[in-house]
Amino acid sequence: MVRGRSPKARRLQASRISDAGRTSAACSFVISPTPASDRRGLCFVQLGASKHVSIAALRFGKPVLAMAIGALSIALPACAADIRITGGNCASAVHVVARDAALSDVLRRLAKALDFELVDGGASDASVSVDVARRPVDLIASLAGDENVSMTVETNPRCPRRERIVKLWILPGKQATPVRTRPSAAQAEQARREQEGIDMVMRAHGMPTPQSPATKTR
Amino acid sequence: MRNRMRWQAARGSSLLVALGLLVSAGISSPAQAAGEQLTVPKATCGPGDHPETALQGQVPAALRAAGFKGFNCNLELVGQSKGDGGNWQSAEYRDSIGNSTSQGKGVGHKQGVVCAYHGTAFTTANRTHVGVPVIDVTDMSHPTPTAYLATTSMLDPWESLKVNQRRQLLAADNGHNGGGGPEVDIYDISTDCTQPQLLASLPVGTGSDGGNVAPVVGHEGSWAPDGLTYYGGDLRTHGGQYYAVDTADPVHPKLITTWVPGFANVHGMSISDDGNRGYFVSLGTSGGAAGLTDPTIAANNGLLIYDLSDIQARKPNAQAKLISTLFWKDGSGAQHTIPITIKGKQYLVFIDEAGSGGFSSQAQRQAACAANMPPYPMARIIDISDEKNPKIVSRLGLETHDPANCAQVLPDLVGLSTFTYGSHYCSVDNREKTTTLACGYFNSGIRVFDIRDPAHPKEIAYFNPPGTTTPSPGSNHVSIAQWRPGGPDWCSAQVHLNAATGTLWTTCQDNGLLTLKFTHGAWPFPESKTPAGQQN
């Protein structure tokens, strides 16, 4: 479910519901630019497992019209940045293919595809080029590893033993923070303890440490 | 087999006497690697299990951050004694009914007591007890601490705490923080293994023991099966030396001899049943990251087979004689060995504790990945039927070990510096007729393998305990500051299988002692037996 109900979120929710009435994150959902063989300036939206819908589908009546409009509202912006998202059903990982796309765009598209709320408080516009298939939470960790990310997850009621992302926050953080701060005393102590521990392991196994060179073998 | 061993074992020369000559350790022929898999087939889990959700062995970053809840496959938790946690290793003694003639039926009978011993870190802060806990695991659902051993060596035996089943002795050397003093402690566990009786806690090698004078430092150790000799690995002196202690009189242990292999450092060992062969390790890093791709840098991590007959026979000026070596670059930090027999043929289980190029710092992991080599250590099986020409027949890597998966796995380990997805200690069901290998793979938990076909081992079960949210004060995972709240444990200890009950027990550093039961008929195999004292 989309939470928060920002105007953008409401629009996304509306468009998703219009997508053939599907409201579940368990839908297979593919957005891709028009195939190279079909350069008519339109994007295709794949709904469900295999259906392709284009503007030509408008003639099939109001439900399809609503669906197509909703689909366009999602798909058209995607044409500029090459982003493809597939999967997300219970049985498989989510597959993201992006080429020179802004990270914020990729995350927005994931939010739409996987039906979670995205609170973007400062995602970098780092360019992303990936071709990766992973579970949703791992995908976020992989894509936004350099961001200050927080997320809530819950057991997916439709998919036994699967988790779904409920909400993802991109917080002002690592890359956006212009001021360098000194590590806190606790962080410094943790770093000291870690170094001390590693030095102990290294010394214990005859390896060099900053304080003590390795003992030579005969 | 997505991976091929790029740097293969170097076949050692067959020097008969160790005269300080360095054996040339070249790079192996690709032919030897041709049939050798890197990753083992995954276990098939059953109903009610909580299988791994990513790669085999992997605890993804998001699960770590959210608080790892654990995975299990064909193994379920029966009991736990967390205590102060544990450190590197564990040892078992099975009393009376639990002896070799009864296959370890030690359930519910006083005469069938099964005792567990494990080390704890050399720390005192926030401890409820220091030293080695003695835990009665006869009733696997209620493991019960019965005593704490706090003599010098027992305060942190590191990797030297071992039981000798035949003479019913428990021993350790002083391994405080990986390198303590010259003490060796020996306890009698024959009368009541739940209440070990101290026989000796004395320095050896200082001259005061009446034996040879040569300073030794504790770290690793292991018994000869007859219980008359205790061997140790001292990683501090002369760049690494092995030593042999005469324990014929366990009240007065005395040093027999020391020797320096000279290839790299030393570490663990195992001894053949007759005491005449020693399967020692050369703990090296083969030049570290630079050595991974430089064929001019020789491998120096691997196996050393020694003739120990002089020591076994107590000949004057007894020397260990080098028979052969076998080195490799796709692992480092050699840990220990187990001689086994499968279908009448002799093999050796060999376990590293560091990956290709070193102890798995972030830079080393990345270097290994860049060289298309496994970044984490694993067990391997070596054919020693021709002891002058040992050959690797299989490796027991998990999917995490596959360099093709580096991009998926490396993010899990950001901020962690050592002992992550790799192996540490393994055990078998029966050295004499081996069917099963069970290992601690640090962050990947307990892994159990079917090795009846030693060239094609298969995983049959795993148990990776939940991450702890409060630090265990006796855990080296904590004292080395690699523990993270909710992150996966360090399962580093020996796993003690019991075919009669279809159970095992082990320790993981944060969760302490765990007793587990096999499910879904995964184990034992019809031919599996677990005679007491035949697991390591």
A51 CB neighbour count, 10 Å cutoff:
12
Average pLDDT over residues A8-31: 30
What is the arrangement of strands in the sheet containing B162-164, beginning at the earlier edge strand?
Answer: B162-164, B169-173, B183-188, B197-203
Which residues is B449 bridged to in the sheet?
B437, B459
Query: What's the Cα-to-Cα distance from B223 to each of A73, B92, B265, B414, rounded to whole Å?
Result: 73, 13, 20, 39
Three-state DSSP class for residue B89 = coil
Q: Point out the residue among B53, B179, B240 whose CB comes nearest to the CB of A217.
A: B240
Please report where in the chains the tokens 């501090």 appear, as a residue.
B236
For A65, the token pair is 């019209």
Q: Which residues of A touch B63 (CB under 8 A)?
A: 137
Q: Point out the residue among A142, A153, A198 whose CB comes nearest to the CB of B417.
A: A198
Q: What is the pLDDT of residue A92?
A: 60
* Cα–Cα–Cα angle for A38, A43, A49, rounded to 5 degrees: 100
In chain B, which among 452-511 make CB contacts under 8 A with chain A? 479-482
pTM score of the predicted model: 0.73
Distance CA B442, CA B158 (A): 16
Q: What is the Rg, in whole angstroms, of the alpha carbon atoms belonging to chain A? A: 23
> Given CB atoms, is A215 within the 8 Å cutoff of chain B?
yes
Burial of A119 per CB tally in 10 Å (0-12, 13-18, 19+): middle
Consecutive H or E run containing B493? none
Distance CA B373, CA B396 (A): 14
Q: Which residues contact B174 (CB under 8 A, 6 or more apart)?
A: B152, B153, B156, B157, B180, B181, B182, B183, B184, B185, B217, B218
Q: What is the DSSP string of B233-285?
A: EESSGGG-EEEEEE-SSTTS-EEEEEE---SSB---EEE-TTS-EEEEEEB--
- Compute the nearest-CA separation of A160 from chain B (Å): 11
- At position A149, the amino acid (one-letter code) is V
Q: What is the pLDDT of residue B355?
A: 96
Q: Which residues of B touch A91 (CB under 8 A)?
A: none
The overall average pLDDT reported for chain A is 60
Q: Which residues contact B328 (CB under 8 A, 6 or more apart)?
A: B5, B7, B8, B9, B10, B28, B286, B299, B301, B302, B392
Residue A21, pLDDT > 70, answer no
Q: Point out the residue among A142, A197, A216 whose CB comes nearest to the CB of B480.
A: A197
Confidence of residue A183 (pLDDT cuts 50, 70, 90): low
Confidence of residue A192 (pLDDT cuts 50, 70, 90): confident
- Compute the nearest-CA separation of B236 from chain A (Å): 6
In B, minimum Cα distance to A199 occurs at B480
> Could you tell me what percent of chain A has a pLDDT over 90?
0
Least confident of A5-14, A47-56, A139-148, B331-340: A47-56
Each of the 536 residues of chain B gets a pLDDT tens digit; together they read 333 333 333 333 333 233 333 333 333 333 334 457 899 999 999 999 999 999 999 999 999 999 999 999 999 999 999 999 999 999 999 975 544 444 444 443 445 899 999 999 999 999 999 999 999 999 999 999 999 999 999 999 999 999 999 999 999 999 999 999 999 999 999 999 999 999 999 999 999 989 889 988 999 999 999 999 999 999 999 999 999 999 999 999 999 999 999 999 999 999 999 999 999 999 999 999 889 999 999 999 999 999 999 999 999 999 999 999 999 999 999 999 999 999 999 999 999 999 998 987 888 999 999 999 999 999 999 999 999 999 999 999 999 999 999 999 999 999 998 999 999 999 999 999 999 999 999 999 999 999 999 999 999 999 999 999 999 999 999 999 999 999 999 999 999 999 999 999 999 999 999 999 999 999 999 999 999 999 99
Verify whether the Cβ–Cβ distance A217 to B359 is below 8 Å.
no
Distance CA B291, CA B447 (A): 30
In chain B, which among 96-155 make CB contacts under 8 A with chain A? none
- At position B353, the amino acid (one-letter code) is E
Q: Which residues contact A217 (CB under 8 A, 6 or more apart)?
A: B238, B239, B240, B260, B262, B263, B264, B265
Contact of B181 with B215, CB cutoff 8 Å:
no
Q: What is the pLDDT of residue A181?
A: 52
Contact of A74 with A112, CB cutoff 8 Å:
yes
In B, minimum Cα distance to A193 occurs at B481
Contact of B434 with B526, CB cutoff 8 Å:
no
Contact of B187 with B197, CB cutoff 8 Å:
yes
> Given CB atoms, is B65 within the 8 Å cutoff of chain A?
yes
Verify whether the Cβ–Cβ distance A206 to B265 is below 8 Å.
yes
Q: Cα-flanking dihedrals φ and ψ of residue B493, to 5°?
A: -95, 165
Q: Which residues of B touch A161 (CB under 8 A)?
A: 50, 53
Q: What is the Rg, in whole angstroms, of the alpha carbon atoms belonging to chain B? A: 21
Q: Which residues of A touch B62 (CB under 8 A)?
A: 135, 137-138, 140-141
> Given CB atoms, is A185 within the 8 Å cutoff of chain B?
no
> Given CB atoms, is A188 within the 8 Å cutoff of chain B?
no
In 3D, which of B310, B308, B166 has the Cα closest to residue B228? B166
ipTM: 0.81
Q: What is the pLDDT of residue A81?
A: 57
Higher-scoring residue by pLDDT: A12, B68? B68
| Buried-exposed string A1-22: b where 16+ CB fall within 10 A, e elsewhere | ebeeeeeebeebbebbebbbeb
Q: Point out the residue among A145, A198, A217 whose CB comes nearest to the CB of B264.
A: A217
Distance CA B267, CA B275 (A): 18
Q: Which residues contact B355 (CB under 8 A, 6 or more apart)?
A: B331, B332, B364, B365, B368, B374, B375, B376, B377, B422
Average pLDDT over residues A164-170: 84
> Given CB atoms, is B267 within the 8 Å cutoff of chain A?
yes
Distance CA A91, CA A68 (A): 27
Picking from A129, A148, A217 by the largest number of B CB atoms within 10 A of its own CB, the best residue to mutate is: A217
Average pLDDT over residues A75-97: 68
Please report where in the chains the tokens 């579970």 appear, as a residue.
A135
